[in-house]
């Protein structure tokens, strides 16, 4: 079976990095490597991650740059990009290997479930998964996985400050549609709960529409992270 690299971009995640990485420990071994790409954390993220990863690297700040740096040092045939606050299903590695067993399939993602209990979050996650299935566009919250050869041919994640996952999806779907796994990856709803579910929905759609119509990703990133 092809080897998989789990690449996790992090920045100041000391409060939850241990719990997140503990869930990945069972997969570490000859067939799976765990790489942490830190964007210059000023807390204890790196020190806490080192015992639980095969490699921890320091990369330029920004998810695209961090994930590209992690991919560059990996030794695996499949790259799986996972957020630090995401919890994959227990059979995730086997699911990825099976999804890419067909040589005509090059990439894919999981359905997502938001961790919170607010009823509106069930609507949000359902629409996220449906939209992704209809458009062939995946987001980072869905745990994008891709063949290394295809990722390198595409030049990796475009070096932009926001919407790097959408930009990569657009490149990849020119060659094959994504494998849309229905098994769910649970991702933190902390932003939705902190800022308000409906306010966050409006913000996300505003940013995506602006990006679609050619807005500068740097400007969008300032709006996103300011909130």
pLDDT tens readout for residues 28-71: 999 999 999 999 999 999 999 999 999 999 999 999 999 999 99
Percent of the chain with pLDDT over 90: 81
pLDDT at residue 222 above 70?
yes
Q: What is the pLDDT of residue 195?
A: 85
Residue 193 is predicted with a pLDDT of: 85
Mean pLDDT of the region 192-202: 86
pLDDT over threshold 70, residue 87? yes
Predicted pLDDT of residue 165: 96
For residue 205, name the pLDDT band (cuts at 50, 70, 90).
confident
Q: Are 55 and 24 in contact (CB under 8 A)?
A: no
- pLDDT given at position 183: 98
- Residue 227 confidence class, pLDDT cut points 50, 70, 90: low
For 90-147, write each residue's pLDDT tens digit.
Answer: 999 999 999 999 999 999 999 999 999 989 999 999 999 999 999 999 999 999 999 9
Average pLDDT, rounded, for the chain = 94
pLDDT at 28: 95
pLDDT of residue 225: 82
Main-chain dihedrals φ then ψ at residue 146, nearest 5 degrees: -155, 150
Per-residue confidence (pLDDT) for residue 49, from 0 to 100: 97
Q: What is the mean pLDDT of residues 201-216?
A: 89
Confidence of residue 197 (pLDDT cuts 50, 70, 90): confident
pLDDT value at residue 106: 96
The pLDDT value recorded for residue 163 is 95
Q: For residues 16 and 108, give the distance between their C-alpha atoms in angstroms, rounded to a whole number.
A: 26
In the chain, what are the domain boundaries? 4-226
pLDDT at position 113 is 97
Are residues 16 and 81 in contact, defined by beta-carbon separation less than 8 angstroms? no
CATH of region 4-226: 3.90.550.10
Alpha carbons 5 and 70: distance in angstroms, whole number: 9
> Per-residue DSSP letters for the chain?
---EEEEEEESS-TTTHHHHHHTTGGG-BTTEEEEEEE---SSSHHHHHGGGSSEEEE--SSHHHHHHHHHHH---SEEEE--TTEE--TTHHHHHHHHT-STT--EEEEEEEESS--HHHHHHHHHHHHHHHHH----GGG--EEEHHHHHHTTSS-S-SS-HHHHHHHHHTTT---EEEEEEEEE--HHHHHH-HHHHHHHHHHHHHHHHTT--HHHHHHHHHH-
């Amino acid at each position: 079976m092809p080897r998989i690299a789990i690449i996790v971009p992090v920045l100041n995640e000391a409060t939850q990095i241990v719990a997140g990485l503990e869930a990945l420990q069972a997969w570490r071994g000859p067939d799976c490597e765990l790489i942490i790409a830190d964007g210059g954390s000023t807390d204890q993220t790196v020190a806490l991650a080192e015992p639980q990863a095969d490699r921890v690297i320091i990369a330029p700040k920004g998810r695209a740059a961090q994930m590209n740096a992690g991919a560059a040092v990996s030794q695996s045939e499949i790259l799986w990009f996972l957020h630090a606050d995401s919890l994959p299903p227990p059979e995730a590695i086997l699911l990825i290997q099976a999804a890419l067993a067909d040589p005509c399939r090059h990439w894919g993602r999981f359905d997502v479930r938001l961790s919170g209990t607010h009823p509106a979050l069930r609507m949000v996650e359902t629409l996220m998964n449906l939209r992704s299935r209809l458009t062939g566009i995946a987001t980072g919250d869905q745990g994008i996985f891709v063949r290394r050869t295809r990722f390198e041919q595409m030049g990796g994640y475009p070096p932009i400050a926001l919407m790097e996952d959408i930009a990569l999806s657009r490149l990849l779907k020119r060659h094959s549609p994504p494998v849309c796994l229905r098994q769910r990856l649970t991702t933190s709803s902390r932003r939705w709960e902190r800022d308000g579910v409906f306010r966050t929905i409006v913000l996300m759609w505003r940013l995506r529409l602006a990006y679609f119509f050619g807005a500068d990703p740097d400007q969008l990133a300032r709006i996103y992270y300011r909130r």
